[in-house]
């Protein structure tokens, strides 16, 4: 028993020896020369958070066995080149500084980081160096000024958590669906107007935060997220105006003629009609309804369907149809749209939490 306690005590001392804490000391500069070479070699965790640092000396690379670095809550405007020589660094916390997309060294993407937190800075774009961190499992860039998510995000194939809440993002790129291990996706407090159906490929997704955006509907493919346990939607127009509606603008004579030609496979060529009509016919869109062989050009039906989850909430799912005939006739029962065979096949416990209010 005593030998076990002695071993535990020795391990605790070793752990303390591996941690160097300079946090909350109001430091304006960090002088690595004040740390012995032995301590530089043995340090695994370095805390410099809550100081007044405006720059980090490249000599931080002398902590060559460093695995964890916290430089949050300073006034940093750049990350020094020396950090790229920390080949064992796994976690970098740099929250609440003054960093932007020009603040990172060119070779930042060569790091072996698994956790990166840049929340509370001044990024208007996600630096492309970050998309080269192929071992990254957690990326947080919340509370910045991001306007978009680069398509290169798909390179982060090890990513499990992506936090981009509190930005100015208006679109979700379909490339986001190429992250096989993504489990937590936070996109709340942005300006997102739609969710791409490709996100249905995120088979590992368990939590999706979309509250306080501009969403008016969700794609029906959202039902394919079989592991989704939490979906946050409050503060979106789809919740504020939680109504069922169908809007149908009668198609023009041009569209009716075009639909007839395309649906009946009537042959045509530039010799039969003006070139502008040929181009118009070539723009036909096939109806997404798999049971309908129709097409549309400019005019389509927009139908809001409701799917009941947990017997309490219904999610509006958008359908685009080429005509009213390609959906089943409306029933006098106001619940009928939510009670089709397809929706009833969804287990009631598919979503444990649907946060609408």
pLDDT at 354 over 80: no
Instruction: For residue 66, tell me if it sits in a domain.
Output: yes
pLDDT at 313 over 60: no
Among 84-93, 115-124, 160-169, 228-237, which is the least confidently predicted range?
A: 228-237
Q: What is the pTM of this model?
A: 0.72
- Total of domains in the chain: 1
Instruction: For residue 65, tell me if it sits in a domain.
Output: yes
- Count H helices and E strands in the chain, helices first: 6, 17
How far apart CA 151 and CA 149 sit, in angstroms, is 7
Share of the chain above pLDDT 90, in %: 54
Instruction: For residue 306, tell me if it sits in a domain.
Output: no
- Split at pLDDT 50, 70, 90, the class of 151 is very high
Instruction: For residue 137, tell me if it sits in a domain.
Output: yes
Those residues whose C-beta lies under 8 Å from the C-beta of residue 256, and which sit 6 or more positions away, are none
3-state secondary structure at position 257: helix
Instruction: For residue 58, tell me if it sits in a domain.
Output: yes
How far apart CA 94 and CA 108 sit, in angstroms, is 14
Take residue 279 and report the two structure tokens written for it: 């181009």
pLDDT at 225 over 90: no
What are the distances in angstroms from CA 4 to CA 1, 9, 11, 15, 18?
Answer: 5, 9, 11, 17, 21
Name the residue range of residue 195's domain: 19-241
Residue identified by tokens 């075009």 is 258
Instruction: For residue 247, tell me if it sits in a domain.
Output: no
Mean pLDDT of the chain: 82
In this structure, what CATH number is given to the domain that contains residue 134? 3.80.10.10
- For the segment 163-173, the average pLDDT, to the nearest whole number, is 98
pLDDT at 308 over 80: no
Q: Give tens-digit pLDDT for 21-62.
A: 999 999 999 999 889 999 999 999 999 999 999 999 999 999
For the stretch 144-147, contacts whose Cβ atoms lie closer than 8 Å and that sit 24 or more positions apart, written own/partner, are: 144/118, 144/119, 144/120
Cα angle value 185/189/190 (rounded, 5°):
85
- Exposed, middle or buried by CB within 10 Å (0-12, 13-18, 19+), for 91? middle
- For the segment 114-138, the average pLDDT, to the nearest whole number, is 98
How far apart CA 321 and CA 332 sit, in angstroms, is 21
Take residue 319 and report the two structure tokens written for it: 């359908």
Cα angle value 253/254/256 (rounded, 5°):
60
Instruction: For residue 251, tell me if it sits in a domain.
Output: no
Those residues whose C-beta lies under 8 Å from the C-beta of residue 213, and which sit 6 or more positions away, are 187, 188, 189, 190, 191, 192, 193, 235, 236
pLDDT of amino acid 177:
96
Q: Which of 239-243, 247-251, 283-287, 314-318 has the highest mean pLDDT?
A: 283-287
pLDDT at 173 over 90: yes
Those residues whose C-beta lies under 8 Å from the C-beta of residue 248, and which sit 6 or more positions away, are 301, 302, 324
Q: Is 195:225 a contact under the CB 8 Å cutoff?
A: no
- Split at pLDDT 50, 70, 90, the class of 320 is low
């Amino acid at each position: 028993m005593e030998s076990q306690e002695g071993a535990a005590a020795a391990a605790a001392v070793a752990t303390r020896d591996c941690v160097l804490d300079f946090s909350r000391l109001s430091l304006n500069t960090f002088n690595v020369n004040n740390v012995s070479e032995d301590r530089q070699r043995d340090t695994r965790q370095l805390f410099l958070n809550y100081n007044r640092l405006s720059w980090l000396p490249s000599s931080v690379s002398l902590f060559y066995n460093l695995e964890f670095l916290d430089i949050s809550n300073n006034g940093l405007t750049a990350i020094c080149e020396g950090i790229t020589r920390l080949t064992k660094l796994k976690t970098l916390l740099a929250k609440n500084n003054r960093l932007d997309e020009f603040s990172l060294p060119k070779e930042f993407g060569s790091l072996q980081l698994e956790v990166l937190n840049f929340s509370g800075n001044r990024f208007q774009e996600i630096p492309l160096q970050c998309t080269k961190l192929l071992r990254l499992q957690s990326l947080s860039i919340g509370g910045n000024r991001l306007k978009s998510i680069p398509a290169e995000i798909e390179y982060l194939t090890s990513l499990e958590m992506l936090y981009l809440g509190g930005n100015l993002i208006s679109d979700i790129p379909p490339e986001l669906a190429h992250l096989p291990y993504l489990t937590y996706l936070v996109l709340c407090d942005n300006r997102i107007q739609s969710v791409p159906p490709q996100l249905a490929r995120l088979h590992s997704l368990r939590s999706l935060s979309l509250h306080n955006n501009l969403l008016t509907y969700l794609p029906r493919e959202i039902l394919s997220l079989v592991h989704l346990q939490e979906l946050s939607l409050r503060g979106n127009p789809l919740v504020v105006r939680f109504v069922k509606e169908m809007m149908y603008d009668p198609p023009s004579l041009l569209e009716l003629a075009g639909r007839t030609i395309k649906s009946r496979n009537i042959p045509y060529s530039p010799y039969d009609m003006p070139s502008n009509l040929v181009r118009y016919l070539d723009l036909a869109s096939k109806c997404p309804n798999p049971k309908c062989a129709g097409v549309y050009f400019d005019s389509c039906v927009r139908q809001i369907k409701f799917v009941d989850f947990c017997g309490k909430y219904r999610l509006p799912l958008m359908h685009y149809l080429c005509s009213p005939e390609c959906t089943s006739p409306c029933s006098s029962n106001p619940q009928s749209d939510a009670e089709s065979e397809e929706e009833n096949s969804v287990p009631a416990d598919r979503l444990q939490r649907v946060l609408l209010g």
